[in-house]
């Protein structure tokens, strides 16, 4: 289904290696996205039944679920005539994965307000006021200068970043497996779900 949706041809995004073939996304993405969308649809149907007393017929297509997360690929082709490619670089920045003491941190800031919150979280370092980082497109064009500076901040430890999320909400997260996120304290601290005892996951998790 990943291939049928077109998603498989898009990985890895921002690749500088045109001589290499597409790289399959990690894990079983079609099955994961299909299950996630099905869970959301069932939850919505249950809420509606509590209000109306009526049931719902739910149909979930894994192919459509994957197509829906192609990052505007269909919209760009329809309205601008641009064909998406896994090659090249993202226009804006920062958008990359950075090393931390205990793993990796994905930072993807498409809005200036998100960047300003991150700047505040970092303690307003002087380099963030450089002209080459004035807006998201300049940050994308100067990623070679920006990313080492961000990496120097993320490298000590990811935990302070997680703790700062409530005070400085922005768009970054620890890059790890789904089981890691659900079976550690990070999801509990964010209050994103209800924890139950479950085999292979001491804290357990339920949406």
pLDDT (0 to 100) of residue 7: 82
How far is CA 39 from each of CA 32, 33, 44, 45, rounded to the nearest angstrom? 11, 10, 9, 10
pLDDT (0 to 100) of residue 199: 36
pLDDT (0 to 100) of residue 62: 92
pLDDT (0 to 100) of residue 49: 92
pLDDT (0 to 100) of residue 206: 37
pLDDT (0 to 100) of residue 101: 75
pLDDT per residue over 125-155, tens digit each?
Answer: 999 999 999 999 999 999 999 999 999 988 8
Q: How far apart are CA 187 and CA 161, in angstroms?
A: 14
Q: Is the pLDDT of residue 124 over 90?
A: yes
Q: Is the pLDDT of residue 28 over 70?
A: yes
Residue 5: exposure state from Cβ atoms within 10 A (0-12, 13-18, ≥19): buried
pLDDT (0 to 100) of residue 155: 82
Domains of the chain, earliest start first: 2-80 (no CATH), 95-175 (3.30.1540.10)
- Report, as an integer, the average pLDDT of 16-29: 84
pLDDT (0 to 100) of residue 170: 57
Helix locations, the chain, DSSP H? 2-5, 29-52, 62-67, 73-80, 112-121, 136-141, 143-154, 159-163, 178-182, 185-190
pLDDT per residue over 88-118, tens digit each?
Answer: 888 899 988 888 877 778 888 988 999 998 8
pLDDT per residue over 147-197, tens digit each?
Answer: 999 999 888 755 555 554 545 455 566 665 555 555 555 555 555 444 333
pLDDT (0 to 100) of residue 6: 81
pLDDT (0 to 100) of residue 121: 86
The dihedral sign for the CA sequence 176, 178, 184, 186: positive
């Amino acid at each position: 289904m990943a291939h049928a949706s077109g998603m498989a041809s898009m990985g890895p995004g921002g690749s500088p290696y045109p001589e290499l073939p597409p790289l399959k996304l990690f894990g079983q993405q079609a099955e994961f996205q299909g299950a996630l969308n099905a869970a959301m649809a069932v939850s919505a149907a249950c809420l509606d039944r509590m209000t109306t007393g009526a049931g719902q017929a739910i149909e979930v297509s894994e192919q459509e679920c994957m197509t829906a997360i192609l990052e505007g690929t269909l919209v760009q082709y329809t309205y601008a005539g641009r064909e998406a490619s896994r090659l090249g670089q993202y226009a804006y920045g920062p958008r990359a994965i950075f090393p931390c003491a205990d793993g990796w941190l994905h930072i993807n800031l498409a809005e200036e307000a998100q960047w300003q919150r991150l700047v505040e979280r970092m303690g307003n370092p002087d380099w963030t006021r450089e002209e080459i980082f004035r807006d998201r497109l300049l940050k994308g064009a100067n990623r070679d200068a920006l990313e080492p500076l961000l990496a120097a901040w993320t490298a000590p430890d990811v935990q302070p970043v997680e703790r700062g999320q409530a005070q400085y909400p922005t768009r970054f997260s620890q890059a790890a497996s789904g089981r890691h996120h659900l079976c550690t304290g990070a999801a509990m601290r964010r209050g994103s779900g209800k924890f139950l005892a479950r085999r292979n996951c001491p804290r357990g998790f339920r949406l």
